[in-house]
Structure formats: structure tokens, C-alpha cells
Amino acid sequence: MAATVLKTETIHIKSSSDVVTARQQVRTLAIELKFSLVDQTKIVTAASELARNTLDHGGGGEMDVAVVENGIRRGLRLTFRDHGPGIADIKQALSDGFTTGGGMGLGLGGSKRLMNEFDIHSQPGAGTTITAVRWK
């Protein structure tokens, strides 16, 4: 059964301040949905990492944050889109320790572990779309 979107907002990610805005909006909605503090932290951490990747590796893009409902479950769905170089090897990019930016290499894999659902579509030269959902 597909999730029903109850509320959605798009945030354009063109600068570091937009990453902060994305993180703040996700936190606000997580609080509204009464996620536990631990779950709020997980969602905000994933959102921050994915927004930063959208900016740094994708050259900017946008995040859609949606309050979704599936039966009796409610959650937050984050969708990040960029039109950057894409990810050549998604499996490798999800593996811990892999980095193209000089970081610890925990970003994509770590974000996946923090969320209940995680999906990546990427095509070299055409950009990347990542959708992640955390259910309450």
C-alpha cells in the first residue's frame, strides 16, 4: 500500500545555510509528529548528511520533506534530488569507509541505517535521487 502524503514542503539546497534550513524543517516536523528524541536525532542526522551530500557532491538540488501516512503509521519521507555527476557505484557508495569528499565515509550507509526505508536512484551524468522514510 502506498503512503498518503498529508503535508509536503520543498527546500532548495544551494548553500550551507540551506542545509541548516533543511535540518531545522525536518526537526520541526519530527517534533510535530511526536517522534521520540532518539528518533528525531536519527531523522535530523540523516537529513543533514543527505542535504550536505546534495550540496557538496550534487552541486545543489532540493529536498522534499513530507508527512506521510500508511494505514495507522505516520512518518517523514525525505526526498533529495540533484542534477550532479551521479553515483557510479551505489553499492560501493553505501559501504562504510568509502568517501569521495575526505570524510569518514559513513554518510550514505549511515543515513540508510538511521531510516526505516532508503532508496537511491542515480545515473552517471544525470544526478541522484534519494528517498528515505522514518516511521513512527
Q: How many degrees, rounded to 5, is the angle at CA 93 between CA 67 and CA 46?
A: 30
Does residue 95 carry a pLDDT above 90? no
What pLDDT is attached to residue 52? Answer: 94
Pairing mode of beta strands 117-123, 73-82: unpaired
The CATH code of the domain that includes 95 is 3.30.565.10
pLDDT at 1: 62
Residue 44 — φ and ψ, nearest 5°? -65, -40
Residues 98-105, mean pLDDT to the nearest whole number: 52
The domain of 43 spans 4-135
Helix runs in the chain, H state only? 16-32, 37-56, 90-94, 107-114
